[in-house]
Structure 1
Amino acid sequence: MEPFADVPEDVSQWNEGADEPLAELPAIVDLLRRRCAIDFSGYKTSTVTRRIRHRMAQCELDGARAYLQRLDTDETERNALCRDLMINVTEFFRDPEVFAQLADEVLPDLLRGRDASDELRIWSAGCASGEEAYSLAMLALDAAGRMGFHGNVKVFATDLAGDVLAEASR
């Protein structure tokens, strides 16, 4: 039992301070905006802080000031942090209420009165590995069948993370 003598009784202590904002957070977000052309200022502070702390641990850096300096000089690390921040969470019909509203209201309104030579084009921005885009395509084709629309249905899917987009296009 001796190896475990230093383990706190309440393991939640291990995560203490993980969500506390970093003093350098605004500078890190600004650096990413300038150097990576991605603005994370609208992200939840706790999420950004957790991801930064995770990257700091990966780099074996204790302080956010040292990590900020690393980000300023290390493009590979900047890209790694940006990838971590661009949450690529995806699943089919991920937000059931939104997809239900699309199926029941939005898509029928978009298709109503369209001519067979028309085309319905849908853009899925931030599509990650494609499940949302495929979900939209399934809903659109179903709605087209219900509404008697025989034109083309096209779904365009984009994402800032090229690696997940490449995976989605396979």
Structure 2
Amino acid sequence: MSTPQVVVVMGVSGTGKTTIGPLLAARLGVPYAEGDDFHPPANIAKMSAGTPLTDEDRRPWLDAIGAWAHRRAGLGGVVSSSALKRSYRDRLRAAAPGVVFVHLTGARELIESRMSHRTGHFMPAALLDSQFATLQPLQPDEPGVAVEVSGSPAQITERAVTALHGYAGSRPAPSA
């Protein structure tokens, strides 16, 4: 990636967005923003209670992430966001047209195991089914790459960096 991009690290809960996001930002030399910090308190309360968010619940959260990404345009940055639906990613791209997605993917069993071992997170493992049911993987016409989450955080980050460099090299430069 020769010009600073804003990268959205996406995927269902438990894929490692909060772990990989800062590592990826460090490798790219750009700031990291934790997507969960953009949630309004009502969203956190719903998820903590085991209630999935609705599209209406997600709009202000996506708009806040999109505004951060817009401010980082041309400067670069990495932000985490589940971005499970195409419409959510479209909303982020409308706010910040140059964003690129890194979709963290993996076997449900691995992700569930990771979720059951983490502490201090408001998203219960019970909502994993709703996350997978909602997930619409990146489509070929969307800017981004899929990265498998098996292995260590360092290995996953290296795969993400390699995939992003390969992706950037395969795309024409945006016109001014």
TM-score, with length taken from structure 2: 0.28
Question: Higher strand proportion, which one?
Answer: 2
Which one scores higher on RCO, CA 8 angstroms, separation ≥ 6?
2
TM-score, with length taken from structure 1: 0.28
Larger Rg: 1
